[in-house]
Amino acid sequence: MACQICGAKSGFFPLCKDCNTKKDQGKVTKCEECGIWKDTNKPLCYECWLKKDKEEKKGTKDYKVTDVEKEDSDFRTKFPASFISEDGHRVRSKAEQIIDNWLYHKGIVHAYERRVPIEEEVYCDFFIPIGQKVWIEFWGTDEEKYEKRKILKKQFYQKNKKNLIELNDKDIERLDDVMPIKLRPFLPPTFSFD
């Protein structure tokens, strides 16, 4: 398994030896909201802080839902998470189940439908917190309505300078070939896919 902070090998533990030492010193803590390890002593991780801040803003009468938030909300309502992956994640499609299982079997720490740390309330399909943080989007449908959602999401990833890996149906058919190539630039140099 890879350390959730620095990406170094950590055996069966979420933190490597060095990051565990930082934890004992109070420099590495768990987010009080989501439980993810973070390299700070603040009570919330950046993503949970953004979410809390956004919820406070939603309570004001001036708040206006963005197109990205509306499209994301509609999509999540239309497609319930009814597939269960081997690590227990509930996902929305067979393809997402295959991706989730692949990440799990490769020992890559990941989250499903994690909020992207930007002002808009948008969720990615998968989030990998090790190395250079990376967000994965699986574009599984070519319906015209969801093509708009795809364009909006790609624009905000670019605008906010987030590392994005895009997958489609053809990539799922050869995931063992595609994922290592797409992930390698973002993972720590010591990470092995073996």
Query: What's the average model confidence in pLDDT over 163-169?
Result: 94
Are 124 and 136 in contact, with CB atoms under 8 Å apart?
yes
**Highest CATH level, class, for 65-194:** alpha beta
Residues of the chain with CATH 3.40.960.10: 65-194
* pTM score: 0.65
User: What are 23-54's pLDDT values in tens digits?
Assistant: 999 999 988 887 788 888 888 887 777 777 77
Residues in the chain: 194
What is the distance between the alpha carbons of residues 145 and 150, in angstroms, rounded to a whole number?
Answer: 9
User: What are 62-87's pLDDT values in tens digits?
Assistant: 666 666 566 555 656 666 778 999 99
